[in-house]
Amino acid sequence: MSKKYFGTDGIRGRVGEAPITAEFMLRLGWAAGRVFAKKGYSHILIGKDTRISGYMFESALEAGIISAGVNISMLGPMPTPAIAYLTRTFHAQAGIVISASHNPYYDNGIKFFSGEGKKLPDEIEFAIEAELENSLYTVESHALGKATRIPDAAGRYIEFCKSTAPAGIELNGLKLAVDCAHGATYHIAPSVFKELGATVRTMGVNPDGLNINENCGSTKPELLRQMVLEQGCDLGIAFDGDGDRVMMVDHKGETLDGDELIYIIADQRHRENRLRGGVVGTLMSNLGMELALKAMGIPFERAQVGDRYVLEQLVKQDWQLGGESSGHIICLDKVTTGDGIVAALQVLGAMSRSGKSLHALKQGMKKMPQTMVNVRLAQRGDPTQDPVVQKAVTHTEQKLGDQGRVLLRLSGTEPLVRVMVEGEDEALVCQLANDLAGSVQKAMS
């Protein structure tokens, strides 16, 4: 049975368009409150990123949850992984994040964490959707929930992040450029790295509600690359709007994606006999990472795209490290979800303990040329099931032979079809990806 509202990463869309409206958020807060109240839950945390609509949706959710008889604590602007962590440490039964992650300011969304700091089970999401069909009512006044604020949330999370740094990490003398995407890490990440001894140059730390992810952050690292080169930094670190993704730039201005960062963390842990089991990637993970890991004898498994599926596979395998090429990296021995700051500290730890630069550490992995083309959907439907598109996929696979991969998938967060082609010949890969994207576009016209 499919869900009406919840996607792979919560509920997301354009502000003002259903379901991302104040009215819906009021009902969602009430429905979630009702479901949680029936399970005996009495305390929920709410945090948000820095986009302007967060104020509106925070108030709407607050009113809905309180009217259902459940207490809430407000965290204000905080990274998504911080909300997962604080939900656990405050022994709350659930956490709610108001964020659209790497999307522009005019989008927003809602995702939930369980009391263990993990994504909600499907059965609870189904229960919330079922409750949304019922008429909203308010509990008796004596049973209303109460709202409080947690003023020291940022300080608590900064200390937690520092505690996850590998033993013996030495950042003194290291010059970092840090891009917070005008998002939820703006008041967290610079302090973490400074307090561990690094010299920090910042950008993207002046959110105004409208500039989140605007020409900055992990999806647009060009300005960070310029800062690294112009200011002679040892490396740059870029987060997305809600802080669950990270990309890096080495001292030569070359960008490292999530696959390369996962490889570096896995390599260092393997050398120190600290890597339990193997690594989980996704269908989008670069073939070069898989080959590099297997050359070291490290098992590798692919999950569906989405951090919740990476986490499920990690738990199933009893492994600790996994993630996505987008920079969503899970270090399960440290955190319960993707955490950009914690992942960055693991990479910095590998640099510190090995004595090598970021550029040197990535040399053991040779990325296969990979081209991704996003085709925007103008209407509902799944063009990946179109016979003409499937024939084009078969043709592309035949062109690549055994030296490449093809993947078409619907985005779980945006109205897009992602067309990915990977192989040894970069020019051929680019041509085939664009041809295949054209077939998808034609199927929708």
Catalytic residue ranges: 101
Tokens of residue 108, six digits:
């927003």
Per DSSP, the residues of 55-114 read: HHHHHHHHHHHHHTT-EEEEEEE--HHHHHHHHHHTT-SEEEEE--TTS-TTEEEEEEEE
Tokens of residue 134, six digits:
């019922």
Instruction: Report d(CA 332, CA 354) in Å as an integer.
Output: 22
Q: What is the identity of the amino acid at 432?
A: L
Helix (H, G, I), strand (E, B) or coil at 36: helix
Instruction: Report d(CA 59, CA 61) in Å as an integer.
Output: 6
Instruction: Report d(CA 276, CA 116) in Å as an integer.
Output: 21
Q: Are 54 and 20 in contact (CB under 8 A)?
A: no
C-alpha gyration radius of the chain:
22
Q: Are 338 and 82 in contact (CB under 8 A)?
A: no
β-strands 246-250, 404-410 pairing = unpaired
Q: Are 337 and 118 in contact (CB under 8 A)?
A: yes
Q: Which residues of 404-431 are buried (b: 16+ CB within 10 A; e: fewer)?
A: bbbbbbbbebbeebbbbbbbeeeebbbe
| Residues with Cβ within 8 Å of residue 351, at least 6 apart in sequence | 174, 357, 358, 361
Instruction: Report d(CA 17, CA 8) in Å as an integer.
Output: 19
